[in-house]
Structure 1
Amino acid sequence: MSRRYDIRTTIFSPEGRLYQVEYAMEAIGNAGSEKKATSKLLQTSTSTEKMYKIDDHIACAVAGMMSDANILINTARVHAQRFTFAYQEPMSVEQLFGGLRPFGVSFLFAGWDKNYGFQLYMSDPSGNYSGLKAAAIGANNQPAQSMLKQDYKDDMTREEAVQLVLKVLSKTMDSTSLTSDKLELAEVFHTNGKVNYQVHSQESVNKLLIQYGLTLPDPALS
């Protein structure tokens, strides 16, 4: 039955289902949150696999098909730059991708603007675009969401937020132990009137994992 209705994202089945959207959501649900193993020759690279800077005040996390994500990340960057060029001010976080369907990928957009301060939005192939206080996408996102609902607090400090993120990852990633070569950690924060995007180095991630008791100390770091 589905073969008659899954050739377009806008064709509904008699039951009211969009099969291509369901296929995309399934692919995203199977997308791991761990970094893929790469050659040791690339360990000093500053590039990331899951985190991307869109503009000086907006960054995103990705889960799903990277071929789709690359196209949409570049599109988002162009939109942000065109807005800044036209209006001589940064684009608001909410305007960036509202109402667009991001193909076979889900995004978490984090940013800051003068209208609403810090914001977090989740976008998925269904076309939903939701503002949230905390969210998880990709594999094992349901247990991660449950942990966030239980432990998130509105008055959390930056350090407490980082600790909560690492705690959630330690409980929901497929690996039995959490190490810096299996995850990426990035922050968007506001200091001295400026929005900053920071990707933590492997050494920094290791120190945080040890500090919060989420991994055993590495003798090489002693």
Structure 2
Amino acid sequence: MAERLKGTTTVGIVCKDGVVLAADRRASLDNMVLSKNVTKVFRIDDHLALAGAGSVGDILSLVRLLRSEARLYRATVGREMSVRALATLTSNVLHGSRIMPYFGWFLVAGYDEKPRLYSVDMAGGVTEDRFTSAGSGMEFAFAVLEEGYEDDMELEEGIRLALRAIKVATRRDVFTGDGVTLVTVTAGGYRELGKEEIRALLE
């Protein structure tokens, strides 16, 4: 059943002082809304995050693997894994699993010397982006991002743009909806915005 879970919109935006990841909270099974409270954005380490669009089971499995690898890296090397290294690791895992693939498209984000964002497809292809989207509502989100993104935008502006992109996808994509998870990663680390903060920004 997990392999048939589908539908989401994830968004990533690089800002001057951090990176934003956002996703809706709906999980669909064929034409049925199966859950309205699914988490699709995850903390991998203090300054690393991942958002996933696709099979819920596959996303959670990959998150567990990446968290373990990040902890192992910190223990053996003595420092946090870089964002690029996490993207490369994610790519290697996905590429090596092509016979029995992870059904998902992943946004890898974080802050090392600066905020960074990578898109990793199911076959392991990696692209570094300033902004991106994945999932069933990505076309609608991209329209908002293309129109609203600016280089060196402040984190607060990036938060509002990400929320606007998810909101538009919610209105037009039947598989997107039921709230938003939004996190920021800055030099100060990983932070998830509370429901009240998000509600106030959406109003």
TM-score, reference length from structure 2: 0.73
Kindly report structure 1 stretches of 4+ aligned residues shifted beyond 2 Å: none
Q: Does 1:183 align with 2:173?
A: no
CA RMSD of aligned residues (A): 2.6
Partner of 1:129: 126
Query: Deviation string for 1:119-151 (max 9, x for gaps)?
Result: 001111122111100111111212322321222
Partner of 1:113: 112
Aligned letter for 2:145? Answer: L
Pairing of 1:150-161 with structure 2 (within 5 A)? 150-161=147-158
Partner of 1:209: 202
Partner of 2:14: none
Pairing of 1:22-171 with structure 2 (within 5 A)? 31-33=7-9, 34-36=24-26, 49-98=39-88, 99-100=91-92, 101=94, 103-114=102-113, 117-171=114-168
Unaligned stretches of 5+ residues in structure 2: 10-23, 28-35, 95-100
Q: CA deviation at 1:48?
A: 6.0
Alpha-carbon distance between aligned partners in 2 of 1:139 and 1:174, rounded to the nearest angstrom:
12
- Judging changes above 3 Å, is the alpha-carbon distance between structure 1 residues 36 and 169 closer, same or farther for their aligned structure 2 residues? closer
Alpha-carbon distance between aligned partners in 2 of 1:150 and 1:207, rounded to the nearest angstrom:
23
> When you count strand as a share of all residues, which structure comes out higher?
2
Q: Is the 8 A contact 1:35 1:182 kept in 2?
A: yes
Q: Secondary structure at the match of 2:191?
A: strand
Aligned letter for 2:72? Answer: R
Q: CA deviation at 1:154?
A: 1.0
Query: Deviation string for 1:30-53 (max 9, x for gaps)?
Result: 51233238xxxxx9xxx9611110
Partner of 1:198: 191
Unaligned stretches of 5+ residues in structure 1: 1-23, 38-42, 211-222
Alpha-carbon distance between aligned partners in 2 of 1:109 and 1:141, rounded to the nearest angstrom:
16
Partner of 2:12: none
Q: CA deviation at 1:103?
A: 1.4
Partner of 1:172: 169
RCO comparison, higher one (Cα < 8 Å, 6+): 2
Alpha-carbon distance between aligned partners in 2 of 1:132 and 1:67, rounded to the nearest angstrom:
26
Alpha-carbon distance between aligned partners in 2 of 1:160 and 1:97, rounded to the nearest angstrom:
25
The higher radius of gyration belongs to: 1
TM-score, reference length from structure 1: 0.67
